Chain A
Amino acid sequence: MGMILFDLLFELALIFYFAATIVSIIELFKDTKVTSKIILSLAGTGFAFHTVNIIYRYVTAGHIPITNFHEATSFFSWCIVLIFFMLAFRYKIKLLSSFIMPIVFVLMLSSSMLPREIKPLSPVLQSYWLEIHTVIAFLGNAAFALACGIGIMYLVQEHHVKSKRPGGLFGRLPSLQTLDELNYRLITLGFPLLTLAIITGALWAESAWGSYWNWDTREVWSLITWFIYAIVLHARLVAGWRGKRAALLSIIGFLTILIAFFGIKLLRKGLHVFL
């Protein structure tokens, strides 16, 4: 009975995100006044089901539901939608959903295809670090996902302005400066979270296995990601790498995150066996 309800909530969230994605893509081609409201209400409904699904799993399992790959991917999407709504209400960026909802939908679709049963948690992992480490890590990654979406928007708008043929989305996309600043802001949000995730991960590793750093595949990839975003920030402050370069790097950074996230799962190696 419990499993059926999980599934139902998850499926509903998936369906509403799918609908929001479709309308978001339509919005790219057809400029109407109502689409953005429709998108927000569809995504909002999906988010509500999604939240209940996560809470319900939490209560049933007795710990945060980020202990198998299905849950992790689902929680990752949830964090992205959360930050998306924060941006949508704070900055009212037009067309943002067209560049974010597809990412959310693809993640949710992958999540839906993974085994969903709650397995008993290995005693090694039963620690408050589980909650702290995973939530921080996924919130950080979600901020980078948004930075990637904004980076793509920047490249599209930059292309319009540079090519001297402002057509297409030129009129509706925000200004280059707005996009660049938002991209920077998201990275300055994601970077400390990523740093903190690595630190809490190390502390957790120490308490579980007795050593802070084990050169586990995920650890290595987090380090690579950390360096990429460190370069983004450093180059910006020192050499003025803003605009197009910053946008490109934030896209590369997020691709690295995705490769690390899904790649490790496919290889099934290392200490992060559950994720």
Chain B
Amino acid sequence: MKVIVVGLNHKTAEIEVREKVAFDGSKLDEGLLSLRGLPEIEEAMILSTCNRVELYVNVKDPVQASESIKTFLSEFHNVNRELLDKSLYIYDDINAVRHIFRVASSLDSMVIGEPQILGQVKDAFEMALEKKTTGILLNRLMKKTISTAKKVRTETRIAENAVSISFAAVELAKKIFTNLSGKVSMLLGAGEMAELAARHLISNGVKEVIVANRTYERACELARDFNGRPVKFDGFLQEMVRTDIVICSTGASRYVLMKDQMQKVMKERKQRSVFIIDISVPRNIDPEINALDNVYLYDIDDLQGIVDTNMFERKKEAEKAEKIIEEEIEPFLKWQSSLDSVPTIIALRDKAEEIKREEITRLLHKIPELGEKEKEAIEYMTTAIINKLIHPPTAALKEDSEDRDILIATIKRLYGINGEEKK
């Protein structure tokens, strides 16, 4: 019983290759069942995301199995075998377990600490459970994987700080305002990043969006998108009295908002805090505005600076995460190796039971006049004998010792149990 991982990810394969081998939609069902159907494979699950395709399998012979998995992948997806060989990695034993733990804990992700991967791992496992393609080993491994990933998430700050500009903006807004749900935001101008930031604000509770644009039609269009209200560009200053969060990206070549204008706005809003995000290049808002009390102005470089710092922090946290993972690997491997003795223990018990049955049948045949009470006594006594005889070897097999392999072999030979394992 050995776990191996066969897969490719964003580091080893271009998007064109990843697309080809992805198990998306109905391909997943079919792929999972055919994979499980391979003779070398006892358990299987498939993790397929846009950044990686990985097959987790339990096999008897890793070398043989990985060959047949490669062939399966190339045939199933109709991909050139050489191309696959270049992109695929194969891990077995401790490396396989470590790899699976690292993937689920988001240490192997393109953006370290991104939270989606754990959900994707859970989905992949659930799919495998539904199709009944996993068994004792993978089930236990995946449960351990999920709990380890959760432990990493709670014990390190790997997923804590924003690593994209728009998330960094939302995070700042949350440190200025207690609750975004009652806040009014304004989209001044338009642009991909500005719209993304607005969307993030909305998903974090902002209800009211005002859209101002040089072209009024465009403002109306955007306002429909955000369920907001369009205003004429000249009117934006009046609206600022009510606005708590401004996202500015107008493409103007000079400042559209000056310090003295902002001062008046602040007076009218009784100095209630304003968060202004200026993502335009060149900047559209006089940087001096940040010096005003209760005005917080961030430009694109400020936000990028935060993202860079946070990324660096995540990398530091990743080192802690690696340590947690190393600690979790050993107990799992120990449990896994204890599985090796299970078939022998079962075979030993079966053998003893078989002997007992045979002997009792023979005895009853010889002395048919035995009463119920005597039969019961005989049954009881023989059970006690075999239990007492089996107990020491069973205990020895269960014990976690280095010479377990030798012990298993010895017991099989002494009791005449042949190699075939019972399932």
Contacts and interface: CB of A to CB of B under 8 A. Distances in A.
B309 interface: yes
B151 interface: no
A181 B296 contact: no
Contacts of B172: 161, 166
A244 B294 contact: yes
A166 B175 contact: yes
B271 A177 contact: no
A220 to B, nearest CB: 32
B273 A176 contact: yes
Size category of the B interface is 20 to 34
A81 B270 CA distance: 34
B176 A164 contact: no
Interface residues of A, number: 25
Contact of A240 (B178, B271, B309): B271
Nearest to A174: B178
A175 interface: yes
B174 interface: yes
Given A242-B271, A243-B294, A245-B293, A175 B177 contact: yes
A162 B296 contact: yes
Does more than half of chain A's interface fall in helix, strand or loop, or is it mixed?
A: loop
Contacts, number: 58
Contact of B178 (A157, A173, A175, A245): A175
Contacts of B177: 175-177
B273 A157 contact: no
Interface stretch (B67-75, B76-84, B298-306, B383-391): B298-306
A175 B172 CA distance: 9
Interface in B160-187: 160-161, 172, 174-178
A2 interface: no
Interface of B: 157, 160-161, 172, 174-178, 267, 269-273, 290, 293-294, 296, 298, 302, 305-306, 309
26 contacts: A31-B157, A160-B175, A161-B172, A164-B302, A165-B309, A166-B175, A166-B306, A167-B309, A170-B175, A171-B160, A171-B161, A175-B175, A175-B176, A176-B176, A176-B177, A177-B178, A181-B178, A239-B270, A240-B267, A240-B269, A242-B270, A242-B271, A243-B271, A244-B293, A244-B294, A245-B293
Pairs A-B, 9 closest by C-beta atoms:
A240-B270, A240-B271, A177-B178, A164-B302, A178-B178, A243-B294, A177-B177, A175-B178, A175-B175
